[in-house]
Amino acid sequence: MNEWHIAEGFRFAGVVIGLRSEPDRRDLAVIASDRPATAAGVFTQNRVCAAPVQLSRERLPRSDARAIVICSGNANACTGEQGLTDARRMAELVAADVGCSAEQVLVASTGVIGRPLPMAILEAGIPKATAVLQPGAAAFNDAAHAILTTDTRIKVSTRTLDSYSITGFAKGAAMIGPNMATMLGFLFTDAAVDADDLHAILRRCTADTFNCISVEGHTSTNDTVLILANGAGPKLAGAALDRFERSIHAVCEELARAIAEDAEGAQHLITIDVEGCRTDAEARTIAKAIAESALVKTAVFGADPNWGRVVSAAGYCGVDFDERDLSLWMGSFLLYERGAPLPFDAKLASAYLRDNRNVGFRVKLELGSGRCRFYTCDLTTEYVNLNADYTT
Amino acid sequence: MNEWHIAEGFRFAGVVIGLRSEPDRRDLAVIASDRPATAAGVFTQNRVCAAPVQLSRERLPRSDARAIVICSGNANACTGEQGLTDARRMAELVAADVGCSAEQVLVASTGVIGRPLPMAILEAGIPKATAVLQPGAAAFNDAAHAILTTDTRIKVSTRTLDSYSITGFAKGAAMIGPNMATMLGFLFTDAAVDADDLHAILRRCTADTFNCISVEGHTSTNDTVLILANGAGPKLAGAALDRFERSIHAVCEELARAIAEDAEGAQHLITIDVEGCRTDAEARTIAKAIAESALVKTAVFGADPNWGRVVSAAGYCGVDFDERDLSLWMGSFLLYERGAPLPFDAKLASAYLRDNRNVGFRVKLELGSGRCRFYTCDLTTEYVNLNADYTT
């Protein structure tokens, strides 16, 4: 906690209001900016999107955002018109306490789909959060905890550059499919960045970070990544803006990787590197198919070097290639070279999977310079047990 | 066994040759037609396809097929040039014993990917099979057993019509994704059907049967469905041909459903009905996304009526719709009606999932008359355990 760099001018709160069945779990976070902040967001591409996603999407980008409110335990998704009314009310309650208009407040939610928000709990609970808004690491830590669902730990990434800081936190442990899934991410900076620049930077930085992780490929209704920049100083431009973008990218990458690492029941973080494709997009399609194959993921869980599952997953993803152009490494083991299987020590290969928490596959084609790095996790019996009994 | 209708003029064998680690498991099947048969096939759409698929595909359609040889335990996939040489050699060995040219023999394989075929075992084993070729149900039963891998039972579907019979068998329990996966199916008839008609009928009949089942969505390298028609009588045409096609469709549907029912570790057969789409193809895309969602499948395993996972899976599949046009039933429970959640008795809904081996979801949109029925199974801890330790 001492090492976190907390952007100036933001206050945080994370409190227990009773949305969750565990009585002591923090379940509501509020983040307020002392001054109007430029703000941008990227959201789920699911056609069925939650009320808070609809609300926040229509309010962004903007130059005068003042707060974000996030509830955990109820997604406010598939809740019809009532869901939109309830999300708007959450923003109004925060606005009244922070002293701004409701439109300056953004909303995010995560949890069970299809249940109306228990508004009595939120009416009573939101003022509890706004009453304890504080700057600094302790309050930030509370907020980072309050957005978790089945996560086993908070995900935080921060940086300090010349004259400003970037402070990010995220949650997500399942329903994680590319194009995000119940994955929430929030970034704050006291740098001054134009709203349009902020939006463009956030889109670019999420494309190969939050959009290149998968737990089970189920894109959520609630994915949201928001960024607020409240700097009062001169706007970043030129080389300073480029440097800002690289740092935002690093924060997004660190948070995305932390989500894949903490996936429900996961025992391995699996890094899929695909290179030598015609385009980056084709490389991503191949990497995504491998990352989402239940057979690849169970093989890693079982420390079974059943590499044919990796090659065959590449083969069914729709990218055109000849298997004689494909080579595959698992860690440092070259298993398949330009369409021909190589002898390998199955015991050593199995030990590689068993003894390393982070394992990697590398697929190389001979078609160009397109590449992608994708993160996923293994599929374990614990994942199945966790998800067999989530709502009931 | 007594009820099976075995097409005339075919002989069957299923023997133990030692490809599998279990010493008493039948692992090689040969089926021979006494006279040249018209033959057609449909195959995996995986870019990485096994040597026997490449071989059989280039030999079809044809009018003089005489035999099929199938080995179980080794897929002969990702085996390079040697794999093709080995598949050709399997056909040659059968041809020598049956008394035909190697081109008249089709080959299929299923099992582990990426290991060279142990040809010494096949050189010694194939003559053992051809030596015991017999007509009738007992030999057919042996062949149906010899193609199994992790299946717990054989899959057989037969019909007798006016003057001919249709005899089908299949295998498949995992690596089942639409467009088939390690799914093998073989159909035999003593009807006389033109090779081009046979090919067209097989393509149409597999499109909404074998191509509408999924275990985990991992399309195999080895999927093969072959049909042989050896009738010496007049060719079927007109209404008789239509009736033949309806029967082939029924056999394919019965076999496909049996595969989904016997999927690895499955405790439920899940039927997904999607209707009211603009096209059948869009309905299939929605049904496939629901069928392949690990979160939907674990919820059914856990008897958890977490219906938001079904609606959200429909939402991320890429078909454009407004959730206010979507309604969802689980069995007879209407859970979500045109974008709004309905109250339901969670205990009764959970009991429906717990107490029925066959359960169903029905998704209705308001966009047209496109529809699809898709079969899948639940995702269980047993599936994960089975697949965590398959090769090692």
Across residues A31-42, what is the average pLDDT? 92
Amino acid in the structure at residue B60? L
Q: B312 and A392: CB-CB below 8 Å?
A: no
Burial of B357: CB neighbours in 10 Å, binned 0-12, 13-18, 19+: exposed
Q: Does A175 touch chain B (CB under 8 A)?
A: yes
What per-residue confidence (pLDDT) applies to A213?
79
Are A378 and A270 spatial neighbours (Cβ–Cβ below 8 Å)?
A: yes
Q: Does B183 touch chain A (CB under 8 A)?
A: no
Q: In this complex, which of B48, B81, B82 lies closest to A312 when CB atoms are compared?
A: B48
- In this structure, of A202-216, A362-376, B140-154, B190-204, the range with the lowest mean pLDDT score is A202-216
Question: SS3 letters for B196-235?
Answer: HHHHHHHHHHHHCCHHHECCCCCCCCCCEEEEEECCCCCC
CA distance A370 to chain B (A): 19
Q: Does B216 touch chain A (CB under 8 A)?
A: yes
Give chain A positions within 8 Å (CB) of B321: 47
Q: B387 and A114: CB-CB below 8 Å?
A: no
Q: In this complex, which of A46, A323, A389 lies closest to B312 when CB atoms are compared?
A: A46
What per-residue confidence (pLDDT) applies to B233?
59
Q: A45 and B307: CB-CB below 8 Å?
A: no
CA distance B216 to chain A (A): 6
The rounded distance, in Å, linking the Cα atoms of B92 and B100 is 9
Please give the sequence-ordered ranges of beta strands (E in DSSP) within B176-331, or none if there are none. 184-189, 224-229, 269-277, 327-330
What per-residue confidence (pLDDT) applies to A185?
82
φ/ψ (deg, to 5) at B113: -90, 145
In B, minimum Cα distance to A347 occurs at B392
In B, minimum Cα distance to A112 occurs at B308
Are A345 and A229 spatial neighbours (Cβ–Cβ below 8 Å)?
A: no
Are A146 and A28 spatial neighbours (Cβ–Cβ below 8 Å)?
A: yes
Q: In this complex, which of B179, B302, B388 lies closest to A388 when CB atoms are compared?
A: B302
CA distance A50 to chain B (A): 10
CA distance B187 to chain A (A): 25
Position A275 pLDDT exceeds 60: yes
What per-residue confidence (pLDDT) applies to B180?
37
Binning pLDDT at 50, 70 and 90, where does residue A179 land? very low
Across residues A242-267, what is the average pLDDT? 88
Burial of A130: CB neighbours in 10 Å, binned 0-12, 13-18, 19+: buried
Give per-residue burial for B186-218: e unless 16+ CB within 10 Å, then b. bbbbbbbbbbebbbebbeebbbbbbbbbbbbbb
Q: Does B346 touch chain A (CB under 8 A)?
A: yes
| Rg, chain B, Cα only | 22
Residues of chain B with pLDDT under 50: 1, 178-181, 392
Position A232 pLDDT exceeds 70: no
What per-residue confidence (pLDDT) applies to B2?
53
DSSP secondary structure letter of residue B7: P
User: Would you call B182 a catalytic residue per the annotation?
Assistant: yes
Q: B316 and A114: CB-CB below 8 Å?
A: no
Q: Does A47 touch chain B (CB under 8 A)?
A: yes
- Cis previous bond, B52, omega within 30: no
Structure tokens at B49: 């396809």
Q: B48 and A323: CB-CB below 8 Å?
A: yes
pLDDT tens digits, residue range B17-63?
999 878 889 999 999 999 999 999 888 887 888 899 999 999 999 89
DSSP secondary structure letter of residue B144: H
pTM: 0.77
Give chain B positions within 8 Å (CB) of A320: 47
Q: In this complex, which of A301, A315, A340 lies closest to B48 when CB atoms are compared?
A: A315
What per-residue confidence (pLDDT) applies to B175?
60
Binning pLDDT at 50, 70 and 90, where does residue A53 land? very high
Catalytic residues of A: 182
What is the CA angle B205-B211-B217, rounded to 5?
A: 170
pLDDT tens digits, residue range A126-173?
999 999 999 999 999 999 999 998 888 898 988 888 788 889 888 886
Q: B48 and A314: CB-CB below 8 Å?
A: yes
The rounded distance, in Å, linking the Cα atoms of A262 and A244 is 27
Q: B47 and A302: CB-CB below 8 Å?
A: no
Across residues A13-26, what is the average pLDDT? 91
Best CA proximity match to B188, nearest among B25, B28, B32, B27? B32
Structure tokens at A142: 């509370």
What per-residue confidence (pLDDT) applies to B181?
41
Amino acid in the structure at residue B315? G
pLDDT tens digits, residue range B129-169?
999 999 999 999 999 999 998 888 898 988 888 788 889 88
Which candidate in B158, B182, B189, B271 is catalytic? B182
Amino acid in the structure at residue A316? Y
Q: Does A295 touch chain B (CB under 8 A)?
A: yes
Q: Does B310 touch chain A (CB under 8 A)?
A: no
Q: In this complex, which of A77, A293, A335 lies closest to B218 when CB atoms are compared?
A: A293
Across residues A183-212, what is the average pLDDT? 88
Q: Which residue has the higher pLDDT, B221 or A358?
A: A358
Query: What is the ipTM for the molecules in this complex?
Result: 0.73
* Alpha helix ranges (H) inside chain A: 51-58, 80-98, 119-130, 137-146, 195-207, 238-261, 280-291, 294-301, 308-315, 346-355, 381-388
Element housing A363 (H / E): strand A358-364
Q: In this complex, which of B116, B216, B321 lies closest to A47 when CB atoms are compared?
A: B321
Binning pLDDT at 50, 70 and 90, where does residue A216 land? low
What per-residue confidence (pLDDT) applies to A42?
87
Look up tokens 């075995």; give the residue.
B6
The rounded distance, in Å, linking the Cα atoms of B20 and B31 is 20
Q: A312 and B350: CB-CB below 8 Å?
A: no
Q: What whole-number percentage of chain A has pLDDT above 90?
A: 54
Task: Walk me through the domains of chain B, giving residue ranges and CATH numbers.
Answer: 10-261 (3.60.70.12), 269-388 (3.10.20.340)
What per-residue confidence (pLDDT) applies to B217?
65
* Cα within 13 Å of Cα(A133), Cβ side: 20
Give per-residue burial for B3-41: e unless 16+ CB within 10 Å, then b. ebebbebbbbbbbbbbbbeeeebbbbbbbbbbebbbbbb
Q: Which residue has the higher pLDDT, A306 or B1?
A: A306
